[in-house]
């Protein structure tokens, strides 16, 4: 089974077994009980949530933010330099 098939199968299972109707406490209780009973689904969801959370860690955010600001600063420096016909340059 390829990865996409597995993801879609887990998503369908999640939609059917975990998501509940808002305002329906009985449905919520049934979904929680079903999740409690299904170790494989709990394990799978737990791993997926940990992997997703790791993508939003402070460290990864800092690296992405620094990369973004470095790129923007570099573009601004290039845009503020005026090239003259005689080859000279000066900053605005």
Q: Provide the residue-wise pLDDT of the chain in tens; the chain has 92 residues.
A: 677 777 777 777 777 777 888 899 999 899 889 889 989 888 988 888 888 888 888 888 899 889 988 887 787 666 666 555 666 655 55
Question: Looking at the whole model, is its pTM more than 0.75?
Answer: no
Q: Residue 82 and residue 92: Cα distance in Å, rounded?
A: 7
| Under 8 Å between Cβ of 92 and 78 | no
Please tell me the predicted confidence (pLDDT) of residue 92. Answer: 54
The dihedral region occupied by 23, where left means phi > 0, alpha psi between -120 and 50, and beta the remainder, is left
Please tell me the predicted confidence (pLDDT) of residue 80. Answer: 63
Q: How many residues does the chain have?
A: 92
Tokens of 71: 């790129």
């Amino acid at each position: 089974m390829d990865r996409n098939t597995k993801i879609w199968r887990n998503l369908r299972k999640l939609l059917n077994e975990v998501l509940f109707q808002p305002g329906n406490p009985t449905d919520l209780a049934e979904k929680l009980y079903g999740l409690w009973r299904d170790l494989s689904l709990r394990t799978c969801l737990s791993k997926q949530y940990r992997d997703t959370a790791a993508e939003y860690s402070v460290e990864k955010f800092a690296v992405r933010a620094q990369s973004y600001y470095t790129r923007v600063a570099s573009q601004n420096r290039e845009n503020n330099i005026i090239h003259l016909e005689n080859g000279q340059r000066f900053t605005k």
